[in-house]
A and B are shown apart, each in its own frame.
Chain A
Amino acid sequence: MNFLEAFRDPRMAGMLRDEIHELAGRRGKRDRPLSIMEVCGTHTMAISRNGIRSMLPSTIRLISGPGCPVCVTPPGYIDAAIRLADSGTHLVTFGDLLNVPGSHSTLAEARSRGAAIHVVYSPTAAFAIAQERSGTQVVFLGIGFETTTAPIAAMVDRAHQIGIHNLSILTAFKCVPPALHILAIDPELHLDAFLCPAHVSAIIGAEAYEPVCRAHAIPCVIAGFEPLDILYGIRGILQQVLHREARVDNQYNRVVKPSGNRKALDLLARCFQPSDADWRGIGVLPASGLTFRENWSTFDAERRFDLRVEKGTVNPACQCGNVLKGKILPTACPLFGTACTPSRPIGPCMVSNEGTCSAYFRYEGKGVPS
Chain B
Amino acid sequence: MCLAVPMCVLRIEPDGTAVGDLDGVRHGVDLSLLESVAAGDYVIVHAGYAIERLDPAEAQSRIRLFQDLQTSRNADAGEGNP
Binding site for B on A (CB under 8 A): 1, 3-4, 6-7, 9, 11-12, 15-16, 18-19, 40-42, 67-70, 94, 96, 121-125, 144-145, 147-148, 150-151, 154, 157-158, 197-200, 202-203, 228, 232, 253-257, 261, 263-264, 267, 352-354
The answer to whether B63 and A255 have CB atoms under 8 Å apart is: no
* Residues of the A chain whose Cβ atoms lie less than 8 Å from the Cβ of B55: 253-255
Among B3, B51, B70, point to the contact of A151 (Cβ < 8 A).
Answer: B51
Binding site for A on B (CB under 8 A): 1-4, 6, 30, 32-35, 42, 44, 46-49, 51-56, 58-59, 62-63, 66-67, 69-70, 73
* Shortest distance from the beta carbon of A100 to any chain B beta carbon, whole Å: 11
Q: Which A residue's beta carbon lies closest to that of B48?
A: A122
The answer to whether A3 and B6 have CB atoms under 8 Å apart is: yes
Question: How many angstroms between the C-alpha atoms of A122 and B29 in the bound complex?
Answer: 10
The answer to whether A3 and B69 have CB atoms under 8 Å apart is: no
Q: Which B residue's beta carbon lies closest to that of A158?
A: B32
Given the known inter-chain contacts A69-B1, A255-B44, please indicate yes or no for A19 contacting B73, CB distance below 8 A. Answer: yes
Name 17 extra pairs, CB < 8 A, besides A121-B48, A198-B2, A353-B1.
A3-B54, A15-B70, A18-B73, A42-B2, A69-B2, A94-B1, A124-B30, A124-B48, A144-B1, A151-B46, A151-B51, A154-B49, A199-B52, A202-B51, A228-B66, A254-B55, A255-B55
Q: Which A residue's beta carbon lies closest to that of B51?
A: A202
